[in-house]
Structure 1
Amino acid sequence: ENIKNHGFNSDVIELCLDHKERSSVKAIYDRSQRLDERARLMQWWSDYLDEVKGE
């Protein structure tokens, strides 16, 4: 399953995976935690896993 196909921004995906920004300049300027978007992605993932399990 490609999560990007479901409308999630790659930056949000990277935050959820706790990947660190490689560009130090971008890391300095983007201190946003994007909690609402991350919560939406995690809820989608939970729903997806439930569907795969057959719940």
Structure 2
Amino acid sequence: MAERLAHARGLLEGPPLPVEAIAAACGFNSAAVLRHHFRARLGTSPAAYRARFGG
């Protein structure tokens, strides 16, 4: 899970991709599952993470 989330964080920091595409690229079944694990482990949402660290 840590590796999947690290990969998702890297994709969120790059060019803007839909969260659904990032979820699929990281092996999550859906964007909702990515959001759940992202918030549970990192304490923030993918959108908030992108707003803070995205390029």
User: What TM-score does the superposition give when structure 2 sets the normalisation length?
Assistant: 0.30
Structure showing greater Rg: 1
Name the one with the larger helix percent: 2
User: What TM-score does the superposition give when structure 1 sets the normalisation length?
Assistant: 0.30
